[in-house]
Structure 1
Amino acid sequence: MSDSTGRVIVIGDVMTDVIVIPEGPLVRGSDRRAQITQRPGGSGANQAVWLGSMGTPVSFVARVGARDKPHLEAYLRGFHVDPVLIADPVKPSGILVVIVDAGGERSFLTDRGANLDLSHSDMPVWLLEETRYVLVSGYSLFAEKPRHAARWMAGEAQSRSIPVAVDAASVGFVEEVGADKFLQWTKGFSTLFANADEAVALAGSADLETQMRVLGPNYGRVVIKLGAGGAAVGDVSGVKLKLPAPAVKVVDTTGAGDAFAAAFVSAELRGVDVETCLRRGIEAGSAAVTKVGGQPD
């Protein structure tokens, strides 16, 4: 399944997603029928599984509850992911409740569990010798211990001239910690992936051209995912390319941005031009929203 593109290391959360699709608006203090499913998730895990399913060699680094490690390792290997899971003897694995509204938009309730204790000693620095790309989920930056671990690993990668990309991951957490801190933590990374809301929070503007010019000095490249509006790539000089998205029936937007990032990185490692990378990212994200859950079947 894999090829000679070189390994990607993904650093991020592994979660159990409990996905709730109510039949209508929630009724406070009473019942509402709903479709409820439980699936493996977490932004970092999603990206790793999408990469593996696309034939890109990938290792995924995360911390999980000790009792969950064996079945999560088996699950990830089923998608051609090399799991580097650290068993936490105390904290359980993370759980995310996803409430999906009638338009397919999501709201999240997050208990990150063992992910909050990811540490410097958990980082597989030895894998960097065979690695061509490191992808950091923004969730790893919003708590002190995983932030120090991810930034240390990013520094080790950069010292070996390995590109490091970051996905902003959560507009709520970006706003909570502050855009200035997020930009400071990720300064010098090769690529920023952000959705439209995250880009507004980080750049302080809703104008796409302004976002590129504001965020460009911090990164070599900025990729902004615009949902139904497609996506754009640019740098400090502004927007370089913007492509539309196909019209699709939206079922659940969970993991669409993760699929986009995985497809973009996978294409880039195969040596194609940036337009093809952007197009493949849009195609993957658009396909992801037509199904429930954040990972491929």
Structure 2
Amino acid sequence: MSKETPHIVGLGNAIVDVVAAVDTAVIDRHGLTPGGMHLVDAGAAQALFDEVGPGVRQSGGSVANSIAHLSETGVQGTYLGKVADDDLGQTFREEMSGLSIAAPVAPSPDASTGTGRCVVLVTPDGERTMSTYLGAAVTMAPSDLAQAMPEGLDILFIEGYLWDAPQGAAVIEDAAQKAKAAGARIALTPSDAGCVERNRDVMWNFITRHVDILVGNLAEVGQLAGTEDPENAMGWAIGNVPVAAVTLHDEGSMVADATGVYRIAAAPVTKVVDTTGAGDAYASGFLGALARGGTVEEAGKRGAEMAARVLTHYGARNGAAAQAISLPAA
């Protein structure tokens, strides 16, 4: 474990977000589920992009966003994810570098695969619907971690979406073993209820063997637990891991550890502009506070504060670039 500045390493799919404001007809026309995350092939991704236009581009990926937010917390961050050796990949690496976030995984030399990209469609109600082409992200293999995994870290934060990749399970297991050997805690976000459904058995097995901290929304954790009830979902979570956080949208969150279960109110927001990345920001605040030695209740409050900031603008990240995004209502 690191002895001075806490260090959190994130492991996930490296992608570039293209955010666009649309009306609900676009969601229907492309057969998408409002508020969902859809994995698509290169052709479908291009067809959607051609309709919605260039939008606004920002580096993304669920855990990548969480690690990027660490630049606001004083916690050191490293991100492990694979991009292609192309323009989007260069953009991703440069943006991480600008936040003082190390991104040591070597890019894929196969430019034909391309860096992963996610078209984020924002409807007038602030809901986001994601259509994702993973590209080079799914080519990450355990060998990519051989030189990239830092020796000193306090928390390894893993993205559930990785289990959708051909070598994802092997990458996750290898990273967890390396982190455990370094004395780090393992944190997991299930990523999406659909991801849980696709990978329930392997995810559940990994949780029971490795996970110290589980962070997810009610739909995700409820899918794991087989319930839609918040208390029952939290009961399942804290019965399987030492620390858990279950976010409840505008009703705040529930957090728990051995000291008990705590209700955390949502931080006030004047107007919700875009929900993209709110959960990622919450996870960053929650894990950052834990890494600094805060209580689970303090961590929940910090997560709520960081999530609230993201809700007030388009895009999943704060800072000058995010604040500059100004898309008209559809």
TM-score (norm. length: structure 1): 0.90
Of 237, 240, 244, 2:261 maps to 240
Task: Kindly report structure 1 stretches of 4+ aligned residues shifted beyond 4 Å.
Answer: 32-35, 124-128
The answer to whether the aligner puts 1:83 opposite 2:96 as a matched pair is no
Match of 2:202 among 159, 181, 186: 181
Work out the number of aligned pairs and report it. 292
Shift of 1:4: 3.1
Which one-letter code corresponds to 2:92 in the other structure? L
Letter in 2 for 1:16: V
Residues 190-269 of structure 1 correspond to what in structure 2 (within 5 A)? 190-234=212-256, 240-248=261-269, 249-269=271-291
Pairs within 5 Å for 1:48-197? 48-68=67-87, 69-90=89-110, 91-124=113-146, 127-177=149-199, 179-187=200-208, 188-197=210-219
* Alpha-carbon distance change, 53 to 77 in structure 1, aligned in 2, over 3 angstroms: farther
Q: Distance in 2 between matches of 1:17 and 1:35?
A: 11
Distance across 1 between alignment mates of 2:56 and 2:150:
37
Letter in 2 for 1:241: Y
Partners of 2:238 and 2:201 lie apart in 1 by: 14
Please give the per-residue CA displacement for 1:27-68, whole angstroms capped at 9, x wherever unaligned.
Answer: 849xx9899322211112111111123221111111101124
CA distance in 1, matches of 2:190, 2:179: 19
For residue 82 of structure 2, what is the amino acid of its counterpart? R
Change (3 A) 1:238 1:142: farther
Q: Report how far residue 260 of structure 1 moved.
A: 0.6
Larger displacement relative to structure 2 (276-285 or 150-159): 150-159
Residue aligning to 2:327: none
Tell me which residue corresponds to 2:59.
40
Residues 183, 28 of structure 1: alpha-carbon distance in 2 compared, 3 angstrom cutoff: closer
Give the distance between the partners of 1:239 and 1:111, measured in 2 at CA.
40
CA distance in 1, matches of 2:260, 2:181: 29
8 A contact 1:43–1:169 mirrored in 2: yes
RMSD: 2.5
Q: Is 135-144 or 7-16 further displaced after alignment?
A: 135-144
Change (3 A) 1:130 1:28: closer
Which residue matches 2:17? 17
Q: Counterparts of 1:33 and 1:70 in 2: how far apart (Å)? A: 24
- Quote the Cα distance in structure 2 between the aligned partners of 1:200 and 1:62: 27
- Asked if 1 retains the 8 angstrom alpha-carbon contact of 2:218 and 2:248, the reply is yes
Classify the secondary structure of the residue corresponding to 1:10.
Answer: strand
Greater fraction strand:
1
Q: What SS does structure 2 have at the residue aligned with 1:87?
A: coil
Shift of 1:155: 1.6
5+ unaligned residues in a row in structure 1: which ranges?
Answer: none
The answer to whether the Cα contact below 8 Å between 2:234 and 2:254 also exists between their aligned partners in 1 is no
Confirm or deny: 8 A CA contact 2:251 2:266 kept in the other structure.
Answer: yes
Give, in whole Å, the separation in 2 of the partners of 1:73 and 1:34.
24
Contact 1:125 1:153 survives alignment (8 Å): no
Deviation at 1:174, TM superposition (A): 1.5
- Asked if 2 retains the 8 angstrom alpha-carbon contact of 1:49 and 1:296, the reply is no
Check conservation: 1:171, 1:201, Cα contact below 8 A: yes
Distance 1:75 1:124, change over 3 A: farther
Bigger relative contact order, structure 1 or 2 (CA pairs below 8 A, ≥6 apart): 2
The share of aligned pairs that are identical, in percent, is 27
Tell me, in whole angstroms, the C-alpha distance in 2 between the residues paired with 1:247 and 1:128.
Answer: 37
Matching residue's letter, 2:272: V
2:52 and 2:96 mapped to 1: Cα distance?
Answer: 32
Cα deviation 1:101-131 (Å, max 9, x = unaligned): 2221111111101111111011156754321
Which ranges of structure 2 fall in alignment gaps of 5 or more residues? 31-50, 320-330
Normalised TM-score (structure 2): 0.81
Separation of aligned partners in 1, 2:259 and 2:232: 7
Q: Which amino acid aligns with 1:202?
A: L
* Rounded Cα–Cα distance in structure 2 between residues aligned with 1:33 and 1:48: 28
